[in-house]
Structure 1
Amino acid sequence: MQESGKQAKAGHLMRLLNIPVARRFGVFDELHQFSDGRALSDHFRTQCAKHFGHAGVRFVEYLIQQGDADFANVLSHLETQFPCPDNQTARAASKFALYAMAGELAIEAGILPWPLGSALAACQAMYQQWTLARGSGLTEHRQILQNVSDFLLKHGDSKFTDKMNPQEKPRADRSGWYVDRAGERIYLFTSAALREAGGNFDFNRVLDALETAQWIVEHDKGKRSKKTAISGVGKLNLYWLQPNADEDHA
């Protein structure tokens, strides 16, 4: 989606979970008693060719043989093994729990030659990696903060004018102004610029994310913008933002 210039939304990220694989050799970090990575790779190739096409059929047969087994209750129990702090995380946790249940049932059926609990442990490890990579907070909020940060990184020096220096030459396609206080820079966004910086998200959601992150540092009562006097321009409703460099929105 990024290559086509589109942006992934929270729903996309929940339907297609992105699990980081950051180990040095990936699956070959553990050789499982084989002499080297090549031997393990050859074993994978041989076993895949030998068992291709029948494991899935056998798994379905096993499920049918269980008759009235309460798989829903089994799944509910497994979901408790995947702690989730919010609704979006809960959706992902349910997927990992389902994968774990399928793996454990395949072990019980003798389809997978693994010890009981192996599938659950593997899914818990993947879930942990996913949650660590995802970070804290709502996915949409983090994406919005990232969008605004990227906008400032790209245009902060070229599209914002020093509010305290009315003699400064106006910037082409200006996005707003800035003021420096105690070594920190506050950006005064125009509404149009902030809509652009927020990406394809609804503007109210953009403002919600900025307010929740406490990036809006000044505003009029009951509003999230501030009527600001700009020399040579007049009074404008601007959004006073001070991005938090320590904010976790990776």
Structure 2
Amino acid sequence: GRVKRERLSDYLQTQGSGDIYTITDRAGWHKDTYIMPSGETITATDKNPAIIYNGDTSQAKAYQPNGELTDWQQNIARYAAGNSRLCLALGASFAAPLLSLLNEESGGFHLMGDSSDGKTTAAKVALSVWGKPSGSLLSWSGTKIGFSNTAAARNDGLLVLDEIGQASPHVIGDTVYSVMNGINKVQGAKQGGNRALTRWKVMMFSTGEKTPDSILKHHKGDWNAGQAARLPSIRAAAQYGIYDTLHGFEDGALLSEHIAQSAEKYHGTAGRLFIRQLLDDLEQAKQQATERMAAFMATIPELSGQARRVAKRFAIAAAALELAAPVTGLPIGVGMAGVKQCFDEWLEANGAGKHEDRRIIEQAEDFIAQYALGTRFMEWSDKSTNKDHAGYRKQEGEKLELWVIRRVFADEIAQSFDESKACRVLADNGLLKYNHKNKGYQHQRKGNGWFHVLATSIELDD
């Protein structure tokens, strides 16, 4: 009846506690409280945090702890000693809740290698810090919106995506940008205006037999400098699959089998203890992490731009693993050395230069190798052309020059990069001739318009 409804309304508005609660659909840090993807709250004390989690709990069961910390240490964590890829996996996992505390951007690592070399085992090691791997491991076969929603539920946490080869090529680049940018797209609300924006920070750990760059190249996509800096690729291969040392096992497969089985039994305790360790003194924890990051950066060459952004991501992984030493049981310095080995290999493979510059140089070198001596280039004295005409060959001393039509240069060498930037990069690296007379990068061939002149290393016989 109406009277009873009115009495119920009065009761709900006037009775009960006057405490104010925060209702959120975002996991992670909320002042001095950390919310797990399951909705579980972790605080420094037993005090009610006055926070209600109303977000995605579809994987809540996977985030239930099982086993004792010593079980996890003896059957999983201890094998990271002397194994750089496992150190990187653990470092990325423990670094996830530090991103917001240190005001660092979202990012991650992509572990690339052949099938059955242990990449997924490394991913399971990372996941075992927070929960059961079989329930929390995700594949790349999803959509950009789906991954963004998942990232919000893993805010200040770890997001592991396995087997990048299962992803649609157009999803890869979009996913890295949307997940790493940490904000969902603007959407209108039914009642007018826009829906509230969701923000997050995550540490991603990805695996696959190929790199994102190689997959997108095959499908004529573009993996640009921003994406490469957010998700740098590291080779999975060490001496025995992903392992540098087998800790008494006969081969890498047996060690992987033991770790994978153990991760299903013992999981979730390490992450919770690490959060409580941070909560004991958040300011001191931030200071210690900052100092350890600085110590890591002091061991590497001076870098700038994208290379430095990547280096800082390795640094926070190394700092987190050192900070988590009381939880992992690993000796001080072991984690730092393992992550440093991975960084050194990344730096050797990618160099300290800009990713964009390397791409431009690679595109020019590929173009030269493919077409320099083929039918697309006519001899200097030829007057006829063909439908695939790209320019002219000219002998300059003992070397071959390629006079490339400007439109061909823009479409096939510069590609997605600005033409003037491509010219500058190639000229700085000795691949493009500068026209000192006209103070530019264009050269004129009488009667045939303007060209860019590539200086090749091809030697012509007399």
In the TM superposition, residue 77 of structure 1 has moved relative to its aligned partner by: 3.2
User: In structure 1, what is the equivalent of residue 206 of structure 2?
Assistant: none
Q: Alpha carbons of 1:45 and 1:67: their partners in 2 closer, same or farther (altered >3 Å)?
A: same
Deviations 1:136-174 (A, max 9, x none): 5322111111112222333331211111233xx412231
Specify which of 317, 322, 327 is matched with residue 99 of structure 1.
317
Q: Which runs of 5+ in 1 are unaligned?
A: 246-250
Q: Secondary structure at the match of 1:189?
A: strand
Correspondences of 1:22-101 after superposition (within 5 Å): 22-69=237-284, 70=287, 71-101=289-319
Q: 122-131 or 87-96, which moves further after superposition?
A: 87-96
User: In structure 1, what is the equivalent of residue 113 of structure 2?
Assistant: none
Correspondences of 1:1-250 after superposition (within 5 Å): 1-69=216-284, 70=287, 71-107=289-325, 109=326, 111-156=327-372, 157-166=374-383, 169-196=384-411, 197-217=413-433, 219=435, 220-229=437-446, 234-244=447-457
In the TM superposition, residue 117 of structure 1 has moved relative to its aligned partner by: 0.5
In the TM superposition, residue 114 of structure 1 has moved relative to its aligned partner by: 1.4
Deviations 1:43-86 (A, max 9, x none): 21233123222222221111111332113344233322232333
Q: Alpha carbons of 1:56 and 1:3: their partners in 2 closer, same or farther (altered >3 Å)?
A: farther
Q: How many residues align?
A: 237
In the TM superposition, residue 129 of structure 1 has moved relative to its aligned partner by: 0.3
Q: Secondary structure at the match of 1:180?
A: strand
Cα separation, 1, equivalents of 2:424 and 2:298: 31
Query: Is this contact kept in 1: 2:405–2:452, CA < 8 A?
Result: yes
User: In structure 1, what is the equivalent of residue 108 of structure 2?
Assistant: none
Cα separation, 2, equivalents of 1:244 and 1:95: 37
Q: Secondary structure at the match of 1:243?
A: strand
Q: Secondary structure at the match of 1:56?
A: helix
Q: Secondary structure at the match of 1:2?
A: helix
Q: Which runs of 5+ in 2 are unaligned?
A: 1-215
TM-score scaled by length of structure 2: 0.48
Q: Alpha carbons of 1:244 and 1:64: their partners in 2 closer, same or farther (altered >3 Å)?
A: farther
**What letter corresponds to residue 82 of structure 1 in structure 2?**
I
Cα separation, 1, equivalents of 2:354 and 2:456: 17
**What letter corresponds to residue 371 of structure 2 in structure 1?**
H
- Percentage of matched positions with identical amino acids: 22
**What letter corresponds to residue 100 of structure 1 in structure 2?**
A
Q: Alpha carbons of 1:38 and 1:7: their partners in 2 closer, same or farther (altered >3 Å)?
A: closer
TM-score scaled by length of structure 1: 0.86
Cα separation, 2, equivalents of 1:29 and 1:119: 14
The Cα RMSD (Å) is 2.1
Structure with the greater alpha carbon radius of gyration: 2
